[in-house]
Copies of this chain bind each other. A is one copy, B any other.
Amino acid sequence: LQRQLENEIRAVIQGLHPADIAFILESLPVEQRQLVWRLVASDQAADVLLEVDDWARESLIESMDRQDLVAATGTMDADEIADLVPDLPPDVVAEVQKGLTEEERAQLIAAMGYPEGSVGAIMDFEMVRVREDVSLEVVLRYLRRLHELPDHTDQIFVVDRQDRLQGVLPLTTLLVSEPDSDVSEVMNTDYLTLGPLDEDAEAAGAFERYDLVSAPVIDDQGRLIGRVTINEVVDVIQEDSQEQALSRAGLQEEDIFAPVVSALRNRAPWLLVNLCTASIASFIASRFEDTVSHIVILAFLMSIVAGIGGNSGNQTMTMIIRALAVGRVTGANIWQLIKRELSVTFMVGACGSIVTGIFAWVISGSSAIAAVMMAAMIGNMLIGAALGVMIPLLRDRFGKDPAVGSSVLLTFATDSLGFFIFLGLATVFLL
Binding site for B on A (CB under 8 A): 17, 19-20, 23, 26-27, 29, 140, 143-144, 146-149, 151-154, 171-172, 174-178, 207-211, 213, 230-231, 233-235, 237-238, 241-242, 244-246, 248-251, 254, 256, 260, 263-264, 267-268, 270-272, 274-276, 278-279, 281-283, 285-286, 289, 292-293, 296-297, 299-304, 306-308, 311-312, 314-315, 317-319, 321-323, 326-328, 330, 333, 336-337, 340, 343-344, 347-348, 351-352, 355-356, 359, 363, 415
Beta-carbon contact of B303 and A249 below 8 Å: no
Q: Knowing that A245-B322, A249-B318, A254-B319 are A-B contacts, what are 19 other residue pairs whose CB atoms are under 8 Å apart, sorted by A's residue number?
A: A23-B209, A23-B327, A29-B333, A151-B211, A152-B213, A171-B175, A175-B175, A234-B237, A242-B322, A244-B245, A260-B344, A260-B347, A264-B351, A268-B352, A271-B312, A271-B352, A275-B355, A283-B359, A286-B300
Looking at the assembled complex, report how far the CB atom of A31 sits from the nearest CB atom of chain B, in whole angstroms.
12
Name, among A151, A283, A299, A355, the residue most crowded by chain B CB atoms within 10 Å (CB to CB): A299
Tell me whether A256 and B172 are in contact in the complex, defined as CB-CB below 8 angstroms, given that A213-B213, A238-B237, A318-B246 are known contacts: no
Beta-carbon contact of A319 and B213 below 8 Å: no
Contacts of A282 in B (CB 8 A): 300-301, 303-304, 363
Looking at the assembled complex, report how far the CB atom of A372 sits from the nearest CB atom of chain B, in whole angstroms.
15
Beta-carbon contact of A278 and B327 below 8 Å: no
Task: Report the separation of the CA atoms of residues A271 and B314 in the bound assembly, to the nearest whole angstrom.
Answer: 11
Task: Report the separation of the CA atoms of residues A392 and B419 in the bound assembly, to the nearest whole angstrom.
Answer: 32
Tell me whether A315 and B271 are in contact in the complex, defined as CB-CB below 8 angstroms, given that A276-B355, A285-B300, A301-B282 are known contacts: yes
Task: Report the separation of the CA atoms of residues A337 and B327 in the bound assembly, to the nearest whole angstrom.
Answer: 40
Q: List 26 A-B residue pairs with CB atoms under 8 Å apart, sorted by A's residue number.
A: A19-B209, A19-B210, A27-B328, A140-B175, A144-B176, A148-B172, A149-B176, A154-B154, A208-B231, A230-B234, A234-B234, A234-B237, A245-B322, A246-B318, A249-B314, A251-B318, A256-B319, A264-B348, A264-B351, A267-B312, A267-B315, A271-B348, A282-B304, A285-B299, A292-B299, A302-B303
Nearest 9 pairs of A and B residues by beta carbon: A299-B299, A241-B241, A211-B231, A149-B172, A249-B318, A286-B300, A19-B209, A282-B300, A263-B344
